Amino acid sequence: MLTDAPITETLLPVYSTFPLRAVAGHGSWLVDDAGQEWLDAYGGHAVASSGHSHPDVVAAIADQAAKLIFYSTAVPHAGRERLADTLVRLSPPPLNRVFFCNSGAEANENQLNLARRKTGRSTVVTMRGGWHGRTAATLACTDGERYEAGARRAGVPLSRKVTFNDIAELEGAMDDSVAAVLLEPVQGFSGARTATTEFLQAARALCDRHGARLLFDEVQCGVGRTGSFTAAEHFGVIPDAIAMAKGLAAGLPIGAVVAAPSLVDDIRVGDLGSTFGGGPVPCAAALANIAVIEREGLLNNVREVSAQLVSGARALPHVVEVHGRGFLLGLELDRPAAEVQRALWDHRVLTGTSTDPRTLRLLPALSFAADEANLLLDALRAVLR
Ligand SMILES: Cc1ncc(COP(=O)(O)O)c(C=O)c1O
């Protein structure tokens, strides 16, 4: 349970909030207005990939802002081009074409649009437990009555939902009206539930058999969070496109679709667009963020510290199972996760919950260090007595 107290009545009361006002951040730490430090195992909702306000990212933003804050895509910009090349270098072949937008929902919206455009079909198959955003098209693909209701009100047909990792059910949902299968290789909101490699391989084969496109939503699990830059690479299954956002620019809004040429080979001027997409400042932040991830060996850090967290968490009382990969972990408990999340506040530790009321979600910065993992495990041990 987060606090629901409105801070000002001018803001719509749509967000539950943590019990602090942050005035600063560094690495995996937030500093509140009383000068107290909070250990952030929530990573600003999987956004602070190189940590909060990494000096290199701050410098890149300041430098680019001083030179040119913004010009639209009517003017070519080296940072946008370099970032596209970098994402292609870090994505599995043949994914080598990039479109920039501003958020995770937008990235999914655009990859759905590309799949529908290419196939001339409209039906989409998605997973139970999947979460894809709050535009009308992505609400239609997100699991949960309150989300689907929004799509229904907008007159957008709902996706066909199948049980995650159930190959037979997926097979039953596929026919020649399906434009795309959209899924998170590691589901975030549902509590860090991981796809099996067999399921992803079957999804690939079924899409190929029916002429549909396979789309990965890596908005939460991508950009290094599973310990490889893309989750696709981790599973060895290559989709037709990947949506990225959250951790890409360590806090500035950006979204990207990285697509196979076969999905976009007939794209022409005006087919897609976004005023702010790929703006100079978010691109500078993303380039600096990725440079930090590479230079500081953060993918390796994710793999090592994740193993420490998983084995440490498995040894705790009241932990039934640890789900997920890398730094997208779900601690399934024998008690309400919201109570544990709240109890951790007394230790000034931030974690996330999920749609499974008994799963506590951990999504720290990719730089979350071994000693910080120990602090988190100590706090969990104190709370789970
Ligand atoms: C897997 C996934 N897809 C899409 C989104 C939507 O991203 P945004 O809030 O940037 O639109 C989220 C946000 O939490 C997400 O976790």
C-alpha separations of 214 from 103, 189, 200, 228 in Å: 20, 21, 9, 20
The pLDDT value given to residue 146: 94
What six digits make up the tokens of 305? 């510290």
Cis previous bond, 94, omega within 30: yes
Residue of 112, 131, 138 with the most ligand 1 atoms within 8 Å of its CB, for mutation: 131
Cβ 243 under 6 angstroms from ligand 1: no
Query: What is the spatial distance between Cα 130 and Cα 67, in angstroms, rounded to a whole number?
Result: 41
The pLDDT value given to residue 8: 79
Q: How far is the CA of 133 from the centre of ligand 1 (A)?
A: 5
Cβ 353 under 6 angstroms from ligand 1: no
Residues 316-332 have pLDDT tens digits of: 999 999 999 999 999 99
Q: How far is the CA of 70 from the centre of ligand 1 (A)?
A: 25
Q: Whose CA is nearest to atom 8 of ligand 1?
A: 104
Cβ 133 under 6 angstroms from ligand 1: yes
The pLDDT value given to residue 1: 44
Q: How far is the CA of 370 from the centre of ligand 1 (A)?
A: 28
Q: How is the chain split into domains, by residue range?
A: 22-54+296-383, 56-295
Pick out the chain residues at pLDDT < 70: 1-7
Considering the domain 56-295 in this protein, what is its CATH number? 3.40.640.10
Residue of 15, 132, 221, 363 with the most ligand 1 atoms within 8 Å of its CB, for mutation: 132
Atom of ligand 1 nearest to the CA of 130: 1
Cβ 126 under 6 angstroms from ligand 1: no
Q: How far is the CA of 218 from the centre of ligand 1 (A)?
A: 9
The pLDDT value given to residue 7: 66
Residue of 135, 246, 257, 363 with the most ligand 1 atoms within 8 Å of its CB, for mutation: 246
CB 112 within 8 A of CB 141: yes
Q: Which fold has domain 22-54+296-383?
A: Aspartate Aminotransferase, domain 1 (3.90.1150)
C-alpha separations of 212 from 97, 103, 170, 176, 262 in Å: 19, 25, 13, 8, 12
Cβ-count burial 254-274 (b if 16+ within 10 Å, e if not): bbbbbbbeebbeebeeeebeb
Same fold, 22-54+296-383 and 56-295: no
The pLDDT value given to residue 2: 58
Cβ 245 under 6 angstroms from ligand 1: yes
Q: How far is the CA of 246 from the centre of ligand 1 (A)?
A: 7
pTM for this predicted structure: 0.97
Q: How far is the CA of 16 from the centre of ligand 1 (A)?
A: 16
